[in-house]
Structure 1
Amino acid sequence: MPGRQSEEQPVEMKAAEDEAEVGLGGLTLEELQQGQEAALALEDMMTLSAQTLVQAEVDELYQEVRPLGQGRFGRVLLVTHRQKGTPMALKQLPKPPTSLRGFLYEFCVGLSLGTHSAIVATYGIGIESADSYSFLTEPVLHGDLMAFIQPKVGLPPPAVQRCAAQLASALEHIHAHGLVYRDVKPENVLVCDPDCQRVKLTDFGHTRPRGTLLRLTGPPIPYTAPELCAPPPLPEGLPIQPALDAWALGVLVFCLLTGYFPWDQPLAEADPFYEDFVIWQASGQPQDRPQPWYGLAPAADALLWGLLEPHPRRRSPVGSIRGYLGRPWRQWEGEAGVVGQAEEEGRQ
């Protein structure tokens, strides 16, 4: 399962009231205002955080225990406070690839969102060292969701619904703050226990205020929504919406149910699996399912048809998952196999 984030180039938000009509990528004035308010709030938080950065070398303050994760832009370490012994996760971003503004942005997005039970809590401690920027979060010690997905099998049915409910709730929380997460994938979902009972969303480097203009500059991947693959409605790019996260969540749920992607890229002219899906969805005949969709139950069909609607304005919101909890998502799955706890988790 490829997990690479497609290259997308965010553009600074602009007041485009004359482009605010509803349509492909269009924003209402209310939606535009929500994103602008989120952007202004983050700017204020970044200004304050820049004034309180701790100037120190990380190893003077914290003892490294072991690595927790490594990415293209930085690494995450399990550390303990040298005086108090408190365990924490430390995300370290090297200079010069990371600008101070870029660091402060990710740090402050995490601070603004971390009160949700399915989002990794960011602590209010930012550190500038000679060669890196770092911030501290709660430690989540069982790796990411990718390690739990069995190829061509996925996750056990109860775990699929638990994860889907928690992630939908986390994304709703992000959207309520006027932000779009933009990076839903298994590598960004941390697992809190060996049985995959609790998960938490992490890594907010791609999160942007609603309405930020975005242009796709690399090849699409399965999580890329089809509206990003089309020519942008504005010369500067597509004004982003929570519908991007709904699409990516739909792809992730499919992967959790099956252990593989439904397609390589959402382009009918380039990917026959996606073309088959679009034709099947338009037919309204669930029984005539394409081969990758064999084994899914009617509830999963309806859920995923909504989340994977090609037209963003008709796409179901992430919270639509709650309407399908407690029902079988696989054809061989009985009611007893669906954990009732998912309904309660989806309301958190």
Structure 2
Amino acid sequence: MNLNQRRRSEIHLEEMLLLTAQNLPEVEVKDNYTILKELGNGSYGQVLLAMNQSQGNLMALKFMQKNITDLQVFLGEYCISLILAAHPCIIGTFGIAFQTDSHYVFAQELAVDNLFSLMKPQIGVPEMAVKRCAIQISSALEYMHLKGLVHRDIKPENILIFDRECRQVKLTDFGLTCPKGTSVESLSENLPYTAPEMCKLGASDRLIVQTSLDVWSFGVLLFCILTGYFPWNSAVPTDKNYSDYTKWHRSSRIFQLPMQWKVLTTEAVEMLRKMLVPEPTKRCTPNEVMNCLKTPWKSHLENKNQNTSRGKLDNSNYLGDRLDNKNIRRRAR
């Protein structure tokens, strides 16, 4: 995307934000929707399964608390979701946005669950399902990046599934999404998916957002769903697994990968190595996964060990103990 195209996209987004702000009605939920159950919750609010009483169709309503959510943040997530919804691998967003006394609300299509629900600790997700996810997430990210947008929150909870075999998955949750080139502060917490350039920010530091942030998170996500482990707890030098990885990345002839990587084939390791480059300018693009689809990603050794204990691996990165980010909701400041 050239500068003129990016500027046009930014102007379009600004116009949508202004128009939506001027036409955000106040709605009494109980008079228009039948709430059936809660689909998810976090510090931002709730996602509820609802039926539109006038049309009878089901949808997911995302409620964001006014007392902790700036109107511009809500409008940004809603309008970006609308802009991206045309892509088949990005969650559909309806033209329904309103406010109540206590919440801002918008509507999206329903999914079966999220990718996290399929992940088996210490095992991950079947290889064919991982490859289906990789193809679709890659396509969604490429589409976003061509529009000059960076997701900034790629993780299994933000990949919605529409079947248990991952024949259809969709990227969701654009609360941290911003245009490439935006200056952002550090996040409140560094997750295993957080790129090292974000992890090293001090409280008063800022980073210019690049698409390479998404490539890093995408690589960590693929590692997690392939193995059932985090590659590290945080991409900082004091994390032993990350430190061991960076040593290996610099000189694989001298240093060995941490044990968690041994279940991956040489081809899969090389693919992830191109995505998980500590230097952001040297990372590949999300479509690197398309070059590796015809080769196995899990080694035959991994298949033999699926029904046996894998306690020799570093359990500090065990998904079953630590991968519970459902209550973590970070907002761009």
* TM-score normalised by the chain length of structure 2: 0.85
The equivalences for 1:213-252 within 5 A come to 213-231=183-201, 237-252=206-221
Letter of the 1:117 counterpart: P
SS at match of 1:63: strand
Secondary structure class of the residue paired with 1:126: strand
Q: How far apart in 2 are the matches of 1:32 and 1:329?
A: 38
1:249: Cα distance to partner? 0.3
User: Quick one: which of 68, 71, 85 aligns to 1:97?
Assistant: 68
Assess if the C-alpha contact under 8 Å between 1:88 and 1:139 holds in 2: yes
Unaligned runs of 5+ in 2: 303-333
CA drift at 1:231: 5.0
> Distance between the aligned counterparts of 2:257 and 2:53, measured in 1?
58
* 8 Å contact kept, 2:220–2:231: yes
Aligned partners of 2:53 and 2:258: how far apart in 1?
A: 57
Deviation at residue 107 of structure 1 after TM alignment:
0.6
Q: Which amino acid aligns with 1:251?
A: V
| 1:312 equivalenced with 2:280 (yes/no) | yes
Distance, in Å, in 1 between the alignment partners of 2:258 and 2:53 is 57
- In structure 2, how many angstroms separate the alpha carbons of the residues matched to 1:267 and 1:219? 13
1:325 aligned onto 2:325: no
Q: Does 1:65 align with 2:36?
A: yes
State the partner residue of 2:48: 77
Q: State the shift of 1:300 in Å.
A: 0.6
What code does the residue aligned with 1:242 have? T
C-alpha deviation, 1:182, in angstroms: 0.2
Q: The residue matched to 1:222 in structure 2 has which SS?
A: coil
Displacement of 1:219: 4.4
Q: Deviations along 1:34-63, whole A, 9 cap, x unmatched?
A: 655443322111111123323211221111
Runs (5+) with no aligned partner, structure 1: 1-29, 335-348
Contact 1:32 1:211 in 2 (8 A): no
Question: Are 1:144 and 2:114 counterparts?
Answer: yes
Counterparts in 2 of 1:267 and 1:32: CA distance versus 1, 3 Å = farther
Q: Which moved more, 1:51-60 or 1:247-256?
A: 51-60
Greater CA drift, 96-105 or 294-303 = 96-105
User: CA offset at residue 170 of structure 1?
Assistant: 0.7
Contact 1:168/1:321 (CA < 8 Å) preserved in 2? yes
Pick aligned residue for 1:119 from 87, 90, 94: 90
Residue deviations 1:287-307, cap 9 Å, x none? Answer: 943212111101111110000
> Secondary structure of the residue that 1:294 maps to in structure 2?
helix
**What does residue 268 of structure 2 align with?**
300
AA aligned opposite 1:280:
W
Letter in 1 for 2:121: P
Amino acid in the other structure paired with 1:135: F
**Aligned residue-pair number:** 301
Whether contact under 8 Å (1:53, 1:125) holds in the other structure is: no
CA distance in 2, matches of 1:219, 1:158: 32
Question: In structure 1, how many angstroms separate the alpha carbons of the residues matched to 2:46 and 2:102?
Answer: 14
Quickly say closer, same or farther: Cα 1:159–1:184, change in 2 above 3 A.
same
Give secondary structure in 2 for the equivalent of 1:68: strand
Greater RCO, CA 8 A, separation 6+: 1
Equivalent-residue separation in structure 2 for 1:68 and 1:111 (angstroms): 21
Correspondence for 1:200: 170
SS of the equivalent of 1:310 reads: coil
Q: Which moved more, 1:165-174 or 1:192-201?
A: 192-201
Matched, 1:56 2:27: yes
Say if 1:321 and 1:257 are closer, same or farther in 2 by CA, change over 3 A.
Answer: same
Moved more, 108-117 or 94-103: 94-103
